[in-house]
Amino acid sequence: MIKQENYMKKLLSLNIACLSLAAAFATPHASALTIYSAGPGKLIETLAADFKASTGITVDVFQADTGKVMARLQAEASNPRADVVISASWDSAQDLDKRGWLLNYQSPNAQHVPARFKQPAYVAQGLSVLSIVWNTKSGTPRPTDWSDLTQAPFKDKVTMPDPAQSGASLDLLSGLQSRQSEKAWQLFSALKANGMVISGPNAQAMNPVLQGAKAAVFGAVDYVALGSQAKGESIEVIFPKSGTVVAPRPMMILKSSKAQDDARKFIDFVLSPQGQARVAEAYLIPARTDIAAKRSTLKEIKLLPDAEGDANYASRAALLHRFSTLFGRK
């Protein structure tokens, strides 16, 4: 009996030692940098792998559309898990900053990023531009402006990403509202009357056009379409002649992060020449002006005039409510 008790004590001591050893080995994983990113998935996976290879720092990634990323941040507000957030909507960064959730950080690599694409607490990873994506085999006339999609040839043949899920689509909605006011809502009313379908995130709006079931996407994220076009898809990316909106993709560090030094290193890495080259490979416009793009740049695209400050932007909730009400999505 005594021998059995001694055996059990030794076994218990061995288990405790094994657990302590396991905990010691688990520590690096527990301290991994956690990044929440709104697509493109391949880009953040590549950046995470490159960053680990360069620094030895492990990166855990949660990748989803902007709506899901923001919803997860809100759900975890009492126990934040993310260290770095990359959104597809500048508006979302403004919102988090106003809540006091973000850590101010000016990366030395941001010196080549234009002032309009950086703030004390966030900076653009890269830029996309909102466009019309047209299926060249659809049998419809080539559109040149947003309003063309309200015409009879495009009846029931247009899709649009849902601004509640697509951060870039929300930026387009915000941009048109701020620059055109009620004319923008007249445009959306005409699009609804012409049978435009509101899909989910950008890829969900794009797929029917790639497959030929629909003719065009209103407000498509250009880099996704440019990537598909490069693979031989029968589509054209068209920047409307009346002007469009830039959607910078903000990177930000949460003030609640317990790995702030590593988070700063990650921001530095993404803004390094190596990181920005990866951004260019995804057909985004690099945030840095000294890194070459693999597509049209802002100098080659007609943009709508800039809004004068945040006051001209309706609140996210108000915009989404009006849009959802118009399209019967509530």
Establish if 318 belongs to a structural domain: yes
Q: What is the pLDDT of residues 111-124, one digit of tens each?
A: 999 999 999 999 99
Dihedral sign for Cα atoms in the order 313, 91, 165, 242: positive
Has residue 29 got a pLDDT over 90? no
pLDDT score for 14: 43
Tell me whether residue 76 is in a domain: yes
In a domain, 135, yes or no: yes
Whether 108 shows a pLDDT value over 60: the answer reads yes
Mean pLDDT value across the chain: 88
* Span 258-304, pLDDT tens digits: 999 999 999 999 999 999 999 999 999 999 999 999 999 999 999 98
Residues 188, 258 within the same domain:
no
Express each pLDDT in 182-221 by its tens digit: 999 999 999 999 999 999 888 899 999 999 999 999 999 9
User: Is residue 177 a part of any domain in this protein?
Assistant: yes
Structural domain includes residue 75: yes
Do residues 97 and 140 both lie within one domain?
no
Which residues make beta-bridge pairs with 244?
303
Considering the domain architecture, whether residues 189 and 79 belong to the same structural domain is answered as: no
* Same domain as 136, residue 285: no
Q: Are residues 203 and 315 in the same domain?
A: yes
Does residue 121 share a domain with residue 266?
Answer: yes
Q: Does a structural domain hold residue 225?
A: yes
Residue 272 inside a domain? The answer is yes
Boundaries of domain holding 68 = 11-18+23-126+248-292
Planar angle of CA 39, 166, 133, nearest 5 degrees: 90
Confidence of residue 306 (pLDDT cuts 50, 70, 90): low
Least confident of 73-77, 87-91, 147-151: 87-91
Average of per-residue pLDDT across 55-68: 93
Indicate whether 314 belongs to any domain. Answer: yes
Q: How confident is the model at residue 30 (pLDDT cuts 50, 70, 90)?
A: very low
As for how many domains the chain has, the answer is 2
pLDDT in tens, 214-230: 999 999 999 999 999 99
Do 176 and 144 lie in one domain? The reply is yes
Same structural domain, 27 and 83:
yes
Instruction: Give residue-wise pLDDT tens across range 234-256.
Output: 999 999 999 999 999 999 999 99
So what's the pLDDT on residue 178? 84
Statement to judge: residues 204 and 308 lie in one domain: yes
Q: What is the CATH number of the domain that holds 185?
A: 3.40.190.10
Least confident of 67-76, 213-222, 310-319: 310-319
Q: Assess whether 33 and 107 both reside in one domain.
A: yes
pLDDT band at 21 (very low <50, low <70, confident <90, very high): very low
Please check whether residues 143 and 204 belong to one and the same domain: yes
If asked whether residues 51 and 174 sit together in one domain, one would say: no
Top-confidence residue, 23 or 192: 192
